[in-house]
Structure 1
Amino acid sequence: MKAKKRLPKNRAAGLEQLFGSRTRVKLLKLFLNSPEKMFFVREIARAINSQINSVRRELLNLKDLGIIREVEASKESYLIPKVDTQKKFSGKFKQVKNKDVIKKFFQADGNFILFPELKALLLKADFLLEKNFVNAVRRAGSVDYLVLTGRFVGMPGISADLFLVGRFNRRKVARLIKSFEKDFGREINYALMSRQEFRYRKDITDRFLYNILENKKIVMVNELGLK
């Protein structure tokens, strides 16, 4: 008889146990999702919302493993991660002028032999976390329509990461999303609508709604018969 595959009971503990710390997991996600970008220490600490000493320690660990490399750059300008009002990585980057002649940056090393496997592992872990997240949201009310969009699909310009239509206890949903923000390591922007509000906004071709409906998204629940 074939044994069933088991998932970790703690929804976020799997990767932390495997890689040693939450900070290391956050760093891996940052570097592997943006392998072409160069980051310096203080901006990394702000982007992943972690203590700078912890960041420095884990950067050295990842450098010793060969996953990232240290780069000395003297460019006129460079890209740094943009952070929101809560000092969390927004998924976007901004260009700034280099005031110093030389700065030390860290960057993913694409020549690391296990680079593709590491990236695939993190993607799979995020998928499992997203699945747990969706199941928890579905239990928070009566769901007619549920989509993951925005930063869940690599489009941070969309104003919502999670869009819900149905009947919900709004406080319960807010608490639930807050708890999962810690696991994802970033803020989750979301929008809730009743069926009545959804139909009205759809009828008047509401810009906010159609920005979600017409862009890239992952449809998890569709009781509205939308195409």
Structure 2
Amino acid sequence: MDTLSTLFGSTLRVKMMRLFLFNPDSAFDVEHIRAKTDAKPRDIEKEVAAFKKIGLVRQSKLIRLVSAKKGKKVVEKKKKVKAFSLDSKFEFREELSDFLVRTHSLENRTIVKKLEKAGRIKAVLVSGIFMKDADARIDLFVVGDNVKASALERVVRGIESDMGKDIRYSVLSAPDFAYRKSMNDKLIRDVLDYPHTILVDKIGIARA
């Protein structure tokens, strides 16, 4: 992220650009952006103001359910909040989106390094959002032994924060992968039949 942070001014700016550009049909309020980026509300509002100024995002209203105390009871009520979404008229939308997808490939080594902390990784394949392919079944495919679910979940959440989009992922043990491969499993075929990049291959996944 360091290269992009230098180019665009901050890590938060890059995360927020990805959030809006990779989710063009979604609107986000400050609280949602905070949850996705782990940033302070005032910093988010500063970036949103800059985005609005150049026409990258537009403002709208969003209905949220908020909890409030009513006597001894906690009730939910609807509240209108400011929300922001990608402005489809932004002149450089496609170019900027393409650039952000391509530059993430520079961080593939980091993804692998983090995944290796979750278990004995045998294969890692990226697809979907990493290849700008919305039709792909998954974005991240991992084969490994003794993979700790909690550790893998933390890695995925970190990738989602950087990418600005939820990551669809699947993890299989090496024996499970070998069995599914021998059965011409639909998941394996769906993964390999779509555009993808193999980051780690210790089990011959490229020949599947």
TM range (shorter): 0.5 to 0.7
What is the deviation of 1:123?
1.4
Q: Distance in 1 between matches of 2:37 and 2:112?
A: 26
- Structure 1's unaligned 5+ residue stretches are 1-11, 79-97
Taking a change above 3 Å as real, the CA distance of residues 65 and 150 of structure 1, as seen in their structure-2 partners, is closer
Residue 207 of structure 2 aligns with an amino acid whose one-letter code is L
> Does the CA-based 8 Å contact 2:141-2:170 persist in structure 1?
yes
What is the deviation of 1:109?
1.6
What is the deviation of 1:126?
1.5
Q: Distance in 2 between matches of 1:62 and 1:48?
A: 16
What is the deviation of 1:223?
2.1
Matched positions, count: 184
Q: Distance in 2 between matches of 1:34 and 1:225?
A: 31
Q: Distance in 1 between matches of 2:17 and 2:187?
A: 31
Q: 2:97 aligns with which of 119, 122, 133?
A: 119
Give runs of aligned pairs for residues 48-197 of structure 1, distance below 5 A.
48-72=37-61, 99-100=78-79, 102-130=80-108, 132-133=109-110, 145-149=123-127, 152=130, 154=134, 158=138, 161-164=140-143, 178=155, 181=158, 184=162, 191=171, 193-194=173-174, 196-197=175-176
Q: What is the Cα-based RMSD across aligned positions, in Å?
A: 4.3
Structure 2 residue aligned with 1:3: none
- Alignment TM-score, normalising by the size of structure 1: 0.59
> Does the CA-based 8 Å contact 2:121-2:142 persist in structure 1?
no
Residue 105 of structure 2 aligns with an amino acid whose one-letter code is F
Q: Distance in 2 between matches of 1:39 and 1:180?
A: 18
Residue 226 of structure 1 aligns with an amino acid whose one-letter code is R
Q: Distance in 2 between matches of 1:225 and 1:121?
A: 27
Greater helix percent: which structure? 2
Residue 31 of structure 1 aligns with an amino acid whose one-letter code is F
Q: Distance in 2 between matches of 1:223 and 1:31?
A: 37
- TM-superposition CA deviations, 1:109-157 (whole Å, max 9, x none): 2222222221122112113223x34775899999864322465454797
What is the deviation of 1:190?
5.9
Residue 109 of structure 1 aligns with an amino acid whose one-letter code is D
Residues 1:214 and 2:195 are matched in the alignment: no
| Range with greater deviation from structure 2 (60-69 or 183-192) | 183-192
Q: Which has the higher contact order (CA 8 A, sep 6+)?
A: 2
Q: Give the % identical residues.
A: 23
Residues 1:223 and 2:204 are matched in the alignment: yes
Aligned residue for 2:78, secondary structure, equals coil
